[in-house]
Amino acid sequence: MVQKEIISKTADFVRSVLKDAEGGHDWFHIERVWKNAKHIAEHEDVDLFIVELGALLHDIADAKFYDGDENIGPEKAERFLKSIGIERSVIDHIKNIIRNISYKSGLDAKNTKRFSSKEMQVIQDADRLDAIGAIGIARTFNYGGFKNREIYNPEIKPEINLTKEAYKKSTAPTINHFYEKLLLLKNQMNTEAGKKIAENRHKYMEDFLEQFYKEWDGER
């Protein structure tokens, strides 16, 4: 099977698996990350086949929707890739990307030997770009509503420098998430292309928050 056909089969598989997913982590999220990853990869010396497969499969079973189980995603990806005859080295690379790409993975102080590759860095930037800017704001409030969280509570302050476990267990208002994660992502981008795109999206979030607080305080 040629690589183009493998990518097409993978996209069909992911689209099918995520057809009923929460709106911020559905097929359209995957498609946006896939497109951004391909764009960023144009400026990097990477294996595009790995980038595309990793982007398509990176959120095949997000742990937050599976009681925090971080093994389901890599295992589901492995079963699919084995079923279409992908070689072991590629499967292992994709599994490592899925295990290590998330923001919370970087908060794990115990993990001193985290996996990284140029391909993962490209996908990670593409994924983080989808967490910021206009779509990032929409996704954040969509997930907050999904979890029935407060939009904002002035009495509950953001907690900076959260541990991985504290981050996973947080039930804070949605606005806090901007300070606990989203506004931090601009300075954590790996690639020059990713950094450039992040600048605009970061500024958009800052402008949004400024307007949000004005309206919260009753500005006419």
| Dihedral sign of CA atoms 20, 58, 55, 17 in order | negative
Residues in contact with 167: Cβ distance below 8 Å, sequence separation at least 6, in sequence order: 103, 104, 107, 180, 181
**What does the pLDDT read at residue 107?**
65
SS (H, E, C) 159-185: CCCCCHHHHHHCCCCHHHHHHHCHHHH
Q: In the predicted model, what is the mean pLDDT of residues 2-11?
A: 96
DSSP H stretches of helix in 18-146: 27-41, 48-57, 72-83, 88-100, 118-129, 133-146
pLDDT at site 195: 97
The pLDDT score that the predictor gives to residue 3 is 95
Q: What is the pLDDT of residue 183?
A: 97
Please state which of the four CATH numbers 1.10.3210.50, 3.30.2010.10, 3.30.70.20, 3.40.50.180 is assigned to the domain occupying 3-216. 1.10.3210.50
List the structure tokens of 203: 């500024």
The number of residues in the chain equals 220
Cβ contact 164:105 at 8 Å: yes
Say what the pLDDT of residue 60 is.
93
Residue 191: count other Cβ atoms within 10 Å of its Cβ.
Answer: 20
pLDDT value for 61: 85
Can you give the pLDDT at residue 68? 72
Distance CA 82, CA 88 (A): 8
Does 5 have pLDDT greater than 90?
yes
Average pLDDT (208-213) is 97
Q: Express each pLDDT in 59-114 by its tens digit.
A: 998 777 777 778 899 999 999 999 999 999 999 999 999 999 988 666 654 555 67
Distance CA 86, CA 97 (A): 16
- At residue 15, the pLDDT reads 96
Distance of CA 45 to the CA centre of its chain: 22
Residue 69's pLDDT is: 78
Q: Which long-range contacts (CB under 8 A, 24 or more apart) does 76-79 make?
A: 76/17
Q: Identify the DSSP state of 16.
A: H
Instruction: Compute the average pLDDT of residues 21-50.
Output: 96
Q: pLDDT of 121-177, one tens digit each? A: 999 999 999 999 999 999 999 999 999 999 999 999 999 877 777 777 788 999 999
Tell me the pLDDT tens digit for each residue of 9-28: 999 999 999 998 888 899 99
Please say whether the beta carbons of 74 and 99 come within 8 A: yes
Expressed in angstroms, the distance from the first to the final Cα of the chain is 61
Please give the Cα distance from 25 to 124 (Å, whole number).
15
Look at residue 62 and give its three-state secondary structure. Answer: coil
So what's the pLDDT on residue 180? 94
pLDDT of amino acid 112: 54
Structure tokens at 51: 């980038």
